């Protein structure tokens, strides 16, 4: 009887991608427009004084990962659909163009590919469609995915006072505990664990592509193989760095090599089995 060598499976079986500023460059201007829209929302919808917004936004982002998560934590009741429509609905989507190069790269990779973004589903689908990548991924893990139990359209008012987070950090009062946010999002470890569970993937066999250093570091702590996108400089927590997602093949030729080897092994095995059955 012919003995066969043990089949060596590819090292990875899933590629987990962030969306904004990862699948397209930051130079497209969506991030800067999004930041302005958030500032306008805080001023127009929440009545926060313009002079207070920069320090407040900075404190919320650093503490909670996203401004939305921070606003909810300190006591603002926010209609999530309205927030996302205001912040993302007015972005310069016309800057996004069909990306034939990235589409070809993604379709040539026979691995599971999943989007993991803090943004809402409407925004994610629109970005992927404009880039021509809507059929390159098996699924999208987004804001709604991780926050299913919340009432997105609640307009109820909350009379609780707003927590002064800027004043808290100014006083450095360690006895006062920071309020927790009901919003689950990157870079929290819990959000990444939830995403991996939903996608049903093993972190040790998953590559995580992200433009955020904080998110990369959180992913690394969970056990993901991490790739920082948007810079050639490798930061702490990043196993690799890519100046552009278009450099994927040059940086990871083994992804294509392993896939080809596995295909050849499976093909050879199929031929052997078929021959033995018909003999």
The contacts of residue 104 (CB under 8 Å, 6+ apart) are: none
Q: Write the secondary structure of the chain as one string of H (helix), E (strand) and C (coil).
A: CCCCCCCCCCCCCEEEECCCCCCCCHHHCHHHHHHHHHHHHHHHCCCCCHHHHHHHHHHHHHHHCCHHHHHHHCCCCCCHHHHHHHHHCCCCHHHCCCCHHHHHHHHCCCCEEEEECCCCHHHHHHHHHHHCCCCCCCEEECHHHHCCCCCCCCCCCCCCCCCCHHHHHHHCCCCCCCCCCCCCCCCCHHHHHHHHHHHCCCHHHEEEEECCHHHHHHHHHHCCEEEEECCCCCCCCCCEEECCHHHHHHHCHHHHHHHHHHHHHHHHHHHHHHHHHHC
Per-residue confidence (pLDDT) for residue 174, from 0 to 100: 61
Return per-residue pLDDT of the chain as tens, 279 residues.
444 444 567 899 999 999 999 999 999 999 999 999 999 999 999 999 999 999 999 999 999 999 999 999 999 999 999 999 999 999 999 999 999 999 999 999 999 999 999 999 999 999 999 999 999 999 999 999 999 855 544 444 456 799 999 988 888 666 788 999 999 999 999 999 999 999 999 999 999 999 999 999 999 999 999 999 999 998 999 999 999 999 999 989 999 987 666 665 544 444 333 333 332
pTM of the model: 0.88
* Closest alpha carbon to 116 in 240, 266, 241, 224: 224
Q: Which fold has domain 14-25+96-156+164-278?
A: Rossmann fold (3.40.50)
Q: Residues 96-130: pLDDT tens digits?
A: 999 999 999 999 999 999 999 999 999 999 999 99
Report the distance separating Cα 117 and Cα 144, nearest Å.
10
Residue with tokens 């927030």: 83
Q: What is the C-alpha R_g of the chain?
A: 22
Residue with tokens 């050639």: 232
* Closest alpha carbon to 89 in 140, 132, 128, 123: 123
Instruction: Provide the residue count of the chain.
Output: 279
* Closest alpha carbon to 115 in 144, 94, 136, 146: 136
Asked whether the beta carbons of 241 and 231 are under 8 A apart, the reply is yes
Q: Which long-range contacts (CB under 8 A, 24 or more apart) does 34-40 make?
A: 34/87, 34/88, 34/91, 37/86, 37/87, 37/88, 37/90, 37/91, 38/67, 38/87, 40/86
Indicate the domain borders of the chain: 14-25+96-156+164-278
Strand-pairing partners, residue 207, are: 15, 225
């Amino acid at each position: 009887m012919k003995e066969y060598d043990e089949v060596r499976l590819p090292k990875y079986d899933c590629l987990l991608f962030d969306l904004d500023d990862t699948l397209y460059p930051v130079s497209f201007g969506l991030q800067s427009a999004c930041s302005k829209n958030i500032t306008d929302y805080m001023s127009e919808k929440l009545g926060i004084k313009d002079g207070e917004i920069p320090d407040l936004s900075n404190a919320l982002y650093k503490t909670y990962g996203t401004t939305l998560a921070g606003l909810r934590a300190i006591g603002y009741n926010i209609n999530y659909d309205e927030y996302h429509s205001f912040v993302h609905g007015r972005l310069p989507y016309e800057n996004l163009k069909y990306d034939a190069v990235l589409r070809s790269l993604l379709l040539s990779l026979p691995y599971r590919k999943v989007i993991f973004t803090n943004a809402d589903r409407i925004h994610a689908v629109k970005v992927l469609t404009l880039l021509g990548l809507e059929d390159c991924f098996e699924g999208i893990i987004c804001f709604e995915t991780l926050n299913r139990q919340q009432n997105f359209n609640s307009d109820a008012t909350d009379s609780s006072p707003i927590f002064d987070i800027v004043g808290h950090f100014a006083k450095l009062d360690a006895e006062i505990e920071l309020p927790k946010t009901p919003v689950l999002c990157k870079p929290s470890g819990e959000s990444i664990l939830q995403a991996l569970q939903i996608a049903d993937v093993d972190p040790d066999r998953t590559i995580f592509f992200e433009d955020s250093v904080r998110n990369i570091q959180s992913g690394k702590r969970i056990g993901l193989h991490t790739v920082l996108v948007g810079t050639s400089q490798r930061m702490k927590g990043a196993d690799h760095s890519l100046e552009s997602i278009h450099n994927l093949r040059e940086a990871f030729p083994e992804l294509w090599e392993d896939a080809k080897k596995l295909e050849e092994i499976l093909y050879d095995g199929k031929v052997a089995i078929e021959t033995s059955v018909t003999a």
